[in-house]
Amino acid sequence: MSLATTENLTSRQRYRRDLGLLFDPNIGAFHRLRNAVAKQMVDQIYSGADHQDVVEAVTDRYHADPARVAADLNTLITTLTAPQPPSSTHGGSLLEIDKRFDARLKFPLRMEIELTAVCNWDCGFCYNVWKIDPTMSDRDVRRAVRELPEKHIPTGLAISILDECAEQGCFVIRYSGGETLLHPDAMEIFEHGGRLCLYQVVFTNGHFITADRTARLAAANVRCALVSIHGDRNQHNQLTGHPRAYDKATTAMRLLLDAGIAVVAELTLVQENVSGALDVIRDAYRLGVREFGVMRYVPTGRNDDRYGVPVSVTLPLMHEIDRLIATECPGMTVAWPCAQKLCTSDADTPLRSDDPTLGLRFSQLAGHCESGMVWASVSYDGQLRNCPHSNVYFGRLAGGAAARIGDN
């Protein structure tokens, strides 16, 4: 085993010593070190020890044969540095990265930064918390957003948060809005995150995606884009209040895929698109998209009567999606994210281990997202909260404040 091979590990993968977790930010792959000896070896490698130092330390601690230790170390490093194809799915793997740890996380592994309050769409079901006052009309909401004194997170604050995240061992950054790309310095922020070797995810409606921009995003290590799509052309344009929304979104998906960026098509499930949800999945599949997210409408108090979907819709639709994947969309992954409960009807009782629907539930329901426990969100005005859907804030971030996220 040469020193160069050890350096190959440390140069390609980031390491959380407190969790025994290795992460490759270029492809989104991670390794959990459950074996105590393997963890000790990697701890020492990331502390600067060379191959011989690691062998001697493990030999002394376990009174082992040095040749056997050296061989085991060679095997470990070879396994961890073996070329791996980029994951074909973004959500399925990364939703598990910060779960099932025995120790409390000292700092989140994932962070969401809301770059802007500005959006060129006009979705009545939007969950952005500055829009949900039940007493406000849609016109009032638009006026309130226009009158916000600060519509974008300060670029300097966003960059300082990224610096702290990289220093503290946060691996995944997701950017949202508003429309994320309407932040005037969005690309500068992404490129800074890329230089820090962060795995970056961008939520977008696709309107401002171009071939040149996708090339810059890919170069900045933006590995995934979540693109909103809520129906066919007519329905999507009607729900978003924009006559070109559908064409912009579908074109963006093609451009992103061509640039090697994974795409997750995201549908907000509302009363008006329940019956057409399967067709939206079909359309995304034809575009080459292989991941699809279904997020049930989040009640806000403003338009719940118009958009709210009964929980009883969930399980029948999951069965239809399962059949669709089996017959028409092989290889497609469909997930219901954002802390969707395992309950799928108003009459659900606690599930038993022999429940015949468990397999279906586990194949689509992403489980509790654990927001506020293992990841956090920063709002466009620089406030820390547990979730992008939450209007409960822990305080305003300033220089150095992000490092206290784990304590909060």
pLDDT digits (tens, 9 = 90+) for 376-387: 899 999 999 888
User: Residue for token digits 């700092």?
Assistant: 107
Domain definitions of the chain by residue range: 3-86, 110-404
Please check whether the domain covering 110-404 is classified as CATH 3.20.20.70: yes
pLDDT tier for residue 319 given thresholds of 50, 70 and 90: very high
- Locate all alpha helices (DSSP H) within 273-355, ordered by sequence: 277-286, 304-307, 314-327
What lies within 8 Å, CB to CB, of 203 at 6+ separation is 174, 175, 176, 177, 180, 225, 226, 228, 266
Say yes or no to pLDDT of 38 above 80: yes
- pLDDT category at 134 given cuts 50, 70, 90 is confident
pLDDT at residue number 363: 82
Of residues 372 and 318, more confidence is placed in 318
Q: Output the pLDDT for position 303.
A: 82
Stretch among 149-153, 219-223, 324-328, 403-407 having the lowest mean pLDDT = 403-407
- Cα dist. 69→3, 22, 41, 177 in Å? 16, 21, 10, 51
pLDDT category of residue 265 using cuts at 50, 70 and 90: very high
Cβ count within 10 A of residue 323: 11
Residues 6+ apart with CB under 8 A from 2: 51
Query: Averaged over 248-276, what is the pLDDT?
Result: 97
Among 55-59, 88-92, 154-158, 203-207, the least confident range: 88-92
Burial 329-349 (b: 16+ CB within 10 A, else e): beebbbbbbbebebbbeeeee
Q: What is the pLDDT of residue 153?
A: 96
CB-CB contact of 95 with 337 (8 Å): yes
What is the spatial distance between Cα 293 and Cα 59, in angstroms, rounded to a whole number?
49
- The mean pLDDT value for 108-128 works out to 90
Which of 20-34, 113-127, 263-277, 297-311 shows the highest mean pLDDT? 263-277
Mean pLDDT across the chain, nearest whole number? 88
374 vs 14, more confident: 14
Q: Annotate 187-222 with DSSP letters as a single string.
A: HHHHHHHHHTT-EEEEEE-STT--HHHHHHHHHTTE
pLDDT tens digits for range 343-361: 666 666 667 778 888 888 8
Phi, psi (deg, nearest 5) at residue 224:
-150, 145
- The C-alpha angle with vertex 254 and arms to 202 and 179, in degrees rounded to 5, equals 30
**Single-letter amino acid, residue 137:** S
Q: What is the pLDDT of residue 91?
A: 47
**In this predicted structure, which of 98-112, 148-162, 197-211, 238-252 has the lowest mean pLDDT?**
98-112
pLDDT band at 341 (very low <50, low <70, confident <90, very high): low
pLDDT band at 5 (very low <50, low <70, confident <90, very high): confident
pLDDT in tens, 40-69: 999 999 999 999 999 999 999 999 999 999
Here the tokens at position 387 are 């979730």
Q: Which of 57-66, 154-163, 192-201, 341-350 has the lowest mean pLDDT?
A: 341-350
Do strands 393-396 and 383-385 pair parallel, antiparallel, or not at all (unpaired)?
antiparallel
Contact 307, 270 (CB under 8 A): yes
Q: Which residues contact 63 (CB under 8 A, 6 or more apart)?
A: none
Residue type, 22: L
Q: Is the pLDDT of residue 171 over 90?
A: yes
The pLDDT of residue 361 is 80
Q: Are 394 and 408 contacting, i.e. CB atoms less than 8 angstroms apart?
A: yes
The confidence band for 302, taking pLDDT boundaries of 50, 70 and 90, is: confident
Q: Indicate whether 37 pLDDT > 90.
A: yes
Contacts of 110 (CB under 8 A, 6+ apart): 94, 97, 98, 170, 171, 172, 173, 174, 374, 375
Q: Which residues lie across from 268 on neighbouring strands?
A: 295
Give me the DSSP letters along 33-97.
Answer: --SHHHHHHHHHHHTT--HHHHHHHHHHHHT--HHHHHHHHHHHHHHHHS--PPPS-SHHHHTTT
> Percent of the chain having pLDDT more than 70?
87
Report the predicted TM-score, pTM, of the whole model to 2 decimal places.
Answer: 0.90
| The token pair that represents 137 in the structure block | 């009309």
The pLDDT of residue 346: 66
Side chain identity at 24, as an amino acid letter? D
Structure tokens at 383: 């406030």
